[in-house]
Amino acid sequence: MKIALISPRGIGMGSQEENKKTESIYNELSNIESLKELMACPNSPLLTIGAMATPYFDDVIYIDEEIEAIDFSKYYDVIGMSFMTQQASRAYELSVQFKKLGSYIIAGGMHPTNLPDQTLEYFDTVFVGECEDTWDQFITDFKKGCPKRIYKNNQLIDMEKVVMPRYDLLKMDAYKTIPVQISRGCPHNCTFCASTKVYGPKYRHKSVEQVINEVKYIQTLKKNPHIYFTDDNMLVSKAFSKALISSLQGMGIRWMTHTDIGIADNEDVLKLLYASGCRKLVIGFESITPASLEKLEKWKYNKLQEYGHAIEKIQSYGIGVWGTFIVGLDNDDKDVFQKVIDFTLGNNLYGAMISVPTPFPGSELYNQLDKANRILTKHWGSYTLWNVVVKPKNMSKEELEEGFEYVLKSIYSKEAAAKRIEHFKHLYCKRRNGNENNSVARS
């Protein structure tokens, strides 16, 4: 039997007008390499599925629609897709085509978990939640000719039992950044986030040995890889973070990940990050408008006054902070656009991802806005975080679109990019000289 694991296209799946506007904006931005790294990355969960499927299939194929076209002349017994909301419209299109070819179509991931009934309109079987414990049962049922429509996971997966992903399925030359998932679960409960509804608030991680073995395996497949640890909040556990980062030192990799602003208080880990190859941390600041942030997540609201100092401290260790912000929230007025620009440039952030309120199914935000009848479209290809898909409260849709564009173009102007580069040159020079002085003092 043959199985094809497909990551559907997610970029450029909005309306023609939305796609044209987005392309126009991003063509004018300077120094957005870090942004591209976040956007152009393989589907990590599918690689794990690939490993679990290997004992049962003669051929396991991974297809990433962002880098290659699908050959519909080839037949696969099973087609498996894992997708987020912005990929769902395309996933549904693909399922229709593959059903005509006679393949059995299965789905899992964030969007299918949060909208299983809708997904079942297009797919034969849907995995709800983590699938490590339900996969073998599906295979058993499939071989008997009686697979269920839904396989629902009812317990948290022990990450130390998760198999090594099939990184060898990737066309390595097509990627600059390779994803590695270390953990699942996040203690925060942001209203816009659907991830915690799938993985839960409990932080669970692989062993240090597992992670190191995965990195070593990737190194056999790609020289000098850039690793993207795709966790929602990788550095939650201080003890685990310290042990892992210490083990990463000397491996010759460069890596980035997501964490929260609390890392600024963990000096033991901060001291180790640069030597381990870490160069960027993506931190969800979400909003700098107090009333907006309080509605999103109380823990982050309580940290708001520390944002500036925390950024300065983290970056003093040679680690660029890549902040994420949402503009156009219900407690935002039109002043929010300039405030985000001033905050980003004033604190010399390494980069910023600006988004508009996007109600992903499964999130509290989705439930609130759907109940209020404020969702403008449920064409999932438009849910890119850049397209306005909800009716704003304190401004018009057009004002939010114009403000979003203004923020991006200001932060990624040639002048702002040059200032950022100069700041980090100075920071790295200062750090290098400081380390040299310390070495002299120790000798």
Higher pLDDT, 138 or 438: 138
Higher pLDDT, 191 or 347: 347
Q: Is the pTM of this model over 0.95?
A: no
For the domain made up of 176-357+392-439, give the CATH fold: pyruvate-formate lyase- activating enzyme (3.80.30)
Q: In what order do the strands lie in the sheet with 2-7?
A: 59-64, 2-7, 78-82, 104-108, 125-128, 150-152
pLDDT-based confidence at residue 396 (cuts at 50, 70, 90): very high
Provide the residue ranges of all domains of the chain, joining segments of one domain with +: 2-35+44-152, 176-357+392-439
C-beta contacts of 116-120 below 8 A and 24+ residues apart:
116/150, 119/88, 120/149, 120/150
Among 203, 191, 152, 232, smallest CA distance to 362 is for: 191
The CATH H-level superfamily of 2-35+44-152 is Cobalamin-binding domain (3.40.50.280)
Is residue 274 over pLDDT 90?
yes
Report the pLDDT value the prediction gives residue 160, as an integer from 0 to 100. 95
Report the pLDDT value the prediction gives residue 440, as an integer from 0 to 100. 37
Query: pLDDT digits over 308-330, tens only?
Result: 999 999 999 999 999 999 999 99
Is residue 145 over pLDDT 70?
yes
Report the pLDDT value the prediction gives residue 34, as an integer from 0 to 100. 66
Report the pLDDT value the prediction gives residue 38, as an integer from 0 to 100. 66
Report the C-alpha gap between 107 and 80 in whole angstroms.
6
What's the mean pLDDT in 75-99?
96
Portion of the chain with pLDDT greater than 90, in percent: 79
What's the mean pLDDT in 277-299?
92
Report the C-alpha gap between 140 and 155 in whole angstroms.
20
**Total number of residues shown for the chain:** 443
Provide the mean pLDDT of the chain.
Answer: 92
Q: Under a CB-based contact definition with an 8 Å cutoff, are residues 291 and 298 in contact?
A: no
CA 185 to chain centre: 13
Is residue 442 over pLDDT 50?
no
pLDDT-based confidence at residue 186 (cuts at 50, 70, 90): confident
In the block, which residue shows the tokens 């190859």? Answer: 277
